[in-house]
Chain A
Amino acid sequence: MLTFILAFRNLMGSGKRTWLNVSVLSLAFVVIIFYNGLLEGWNVQARTDTMAWETGNGRLSHPLFDQFDPFTLADSHGKTDEGLLTLLGKDASPVLITQATAYPNGRLFNVLLKGIDTRQTLLSVPVRLMDSLASAGEGGVIPAVIGDRMAKAAKLKAGDMMVVRWRDANGTFDAREVMIAEVFRTNVPSVDVSQVWIPLEYLREMTSMYGEATYITLSKEGVAKLNGAADDKLPASGELYKGWRYEDEDALMHEIDTVIKAKKGSSTVISMLLLCIALLAIFDTQILSIFRRQKEIGTYIALGMTRLKVVGIFTIEGTIHSVLAIALGTLWGMPLLKWIQHTGIPMPSNTDQAGLAIADKIVPVYSAGMLLATVLLVVISSLVVSYIPARKISKMKPTEALKGKLV
């Protein structure tokens, strides 16, 4: 305790030098939290949106289905288990996918035709209008919904017609007109770019894949229902369940997690650079302190302090910089970070071309774990850079320190 009191007194006595170091370190502290919060916010938003629009909380995929390889689509479809779908009810949504060519306004687009149950409520893809148009049986026209990226690329709008050509299960080409019932806005490019959503029953009929699907999306409750079943519980992710490959949330979010991890890497470099500048200031101050305060060190020892205790005083003096920086950073950074959280960070309109779910605005998320980790990082790193120069004191001769001779 004495060491803390003495270190704090010395630090306060140093005045402006202390506050300069504390200010730089507090800036680093706030920026690290901001960067991490931004990435965490993006992560949360990307995961939430991807789950809402595309993956749900789990998926039973055809074993041959590979979402990154369109050539697998021809074979990756199979009959759905009606008993299973009945059990799951609204907690499951089968999707059938086939490759197709669309001809909007005389242009040619390779697209994925995705059949979705028009009564599903699990995914956010808007199906209500398709459902009413399909029920009305509008002259054999296929109602479709597309995302605004697809609409923009193909210059389509609601009410427009386009021809779509596909191959059925037997390899026979066929073509029909599709009417754009609705253009939706989503943050998830993988349900938008080059995708045309039509009613599942239509696609099954068009491809002669009656009662079939490429994958079945599961809600959280759906996963819980299957896990809670007395027998035939869901296996580990990647293993087969009733002939379908089960993928859990983590497996489905793997790509997002990887990208976020890579982004975190680059943001860590920036944060660390800033932290290093702040720590360098503390390191320099410590070196200067020990150099200038040799007589003081000698006096401490002459008055009966052990060298180890003097090392402790100087180490804690340096470390208190970080404690003050955290306090100062909380003082000015907290309102700023809160305000940013309230307003969000607007993202440029073409950011989502990267193929990842990015909202118009990213709202930073500051979790308790992240805050604690940042606090620990700042405190521990300042403790280390304070200790390294302070170690020299233990090798100092008190008689020479009292004379103020060089270390």
Chain B
Amino acid sequence: MENNKIVLLEGVCKRFPAGKTEFTALSNISLSFGKGEFAGLVGPSGSGKTTLLNIIGSLDTPSEGTADVLGKRINLLSHKEAAQLRNYGIGFIFQTYNLLPVYSVYDNVEFALLLQKMSSEARKKAVMEALEWVGLTEKVKSRPSMLSGGECQRVAIARAIVKKPQLVLADEPSANLDSKNSHHIVQTMKRINKELGTTFIFSTHDEKVMQYLDRIIYLKDGMVDKDETVNK
């Protein structure tokens, strides 16, 4: 793997069974992402954005080709090793926030750290710091049901960055948000990217998000259509 490349995909294909035949979601994808990138996978529904994010996030494996993430080959990882990789190296942000409904804001953010054997003091400090980043220190005791969509997504961002991962994968993070909130959360992520050097990879088709991206990879029918660097 090249020195500053934290994600390296070589000829990645992903096929899913569809009845008696197979559906090809990704076809011969070769991409790499360096440290501190703020990149997006853009394309219409069914273009393979989420599938590619899932493979990079070690939630899925390629049918063909290789995927190296943070120095680990995804194809070869056991369930336990993949969990370890996600636990320490990768943060996830989902379109529907996926917050744990019975937990408070604090608990939701802390959850990511509970899996790492960290002292409660260090945990508390990290959680408060992450909530400060997203401007939610006032809402630590609130449950997700008491928050707006924008606030929920900010909690999800805090949960993703609290363990200071090298890589954050955000799957359509603004899809359920209004314009103002969309801008706000992407600006927050951009700030984290700049200040912490965290690599962000988005899947999106939201123009509001795209304007902040440094690199846009257009996917079409499971293939890379265009890979362009912007704002630089």
Contact = CB atoms under 8 A, between A and B. Distances in A.
Interface of A: 2, 5-6, 9-10, 12-14, 295-296, 298-299, 301-308, 397-399, 402
B79 A13 contact: no
Nearest to B112: A303
A6 B102 CA distance: 10
A9 B83 contact: no
B115 A2 contact: yes
B130 to A, nearest CB: 14
A399 B55 CA distance: 10
B107 A9 contact: yes
Interface in B96-131: 96, 98, 100-103, 107, 111-112, 114-115
A306 B92 contact: no
Interface in B166-217: none
A301 B94 CA distance: 13
A302 B150 CA distance: 21
Contact of A402 (B59, B100, B103, B114): B59
Given A304-B86, A399-B54, A299 B100 contact: yes
Contacts of B133: none
A302 to B, nearest CB: 5
Given A303-B115, A399-B54, A298 B83 contact: no
A306 B132 CA distance: 29
Interface in B72-95: 79-80, 83-88, 92, 94
B103 A295 contact: no
A39 B140 CA distance: 55
A399 B60 contact: yes
Contacts of A295: 96, 98
A406 B100 CA distance: 19
Given A295-B96, A399-B54, A306 B83 contact: yes
A242 B176 CA distance: 96
B57 interface: yes
Given A301-B83, A304-B87, A305-B83, A6 B114 contact: yes
A394 B137 CA distance: 36
**Closest A-B pairs by Cβ, 4 of them:** A13-B102, A304-B87, A299-B98, A304-B86
A302 B156 CA distance: 12
A306 B79 contact: yes
B157 to A, nearest CB: 14
17 contacts: A2-B115, A5-B114, A6-B114, A9-B102, A9-B103, A13-B101, A299-B92, A299-B100, A301-B83, A302-B86, A303-B115, A304-B85, A304-B115, A305-B115, A306-B79, A306-B83, A402-B59
Interface size class of B (residues with CB under 8 A): 20 to 34
Given A10-B102, A12-B102, A296-B101, 5 more contacts: A13-B103, A299-B100, A303-B159, A304-B86, A398-B60
Contacts of A304: 83-88, 112, 115
A399 B54 CA distance: 7
Contact of A307 (B57, B79, B111, B159): B79
Contacts of B87: 303-305
B57 A2 contact: no
B41 to A, nearest CB: 16
Residue from A9, A306, A307 whose CB has the most chain B CB atoms within 10 Å: A306
Contacts of B84: 304
A148 B147 CA distance: 79
A296 B100 contact: yes
Contacts of B60: 397-399
Nearest to B88: A304
A298 B171 CA distance: 14
A304 B79 CA distance: 10
Nearest to A302: B92
B102 A298 contact: no
A298 B98 contact: yes
Contacts of B100: 296, 299
Nearest to A2: B114
A295 B97 CA distance: 10
B102 A303 contact: no
A296 B94 CA distance: 12
Contacts of B114: 2, 5-6
Given A296-B100, A303-B115, A402 B86 contact: no
Contact of B57 (A5, A13, A302): A302
Contacts of A399: 54, 59-60
Contact of B92 (A12, A13, A303): A303
A398 B59 contact: yes
A250 to B, nearest CB: 55
B59 A301 contact: yes
Nearest to B86: A304
A256 B87 CA distance: 62
A196 B111 CA distance: 80
A213 B232 CA distance: 116
Contacts of B85: 304
Contacts of B98: 295-296, 298-299, 302, 402
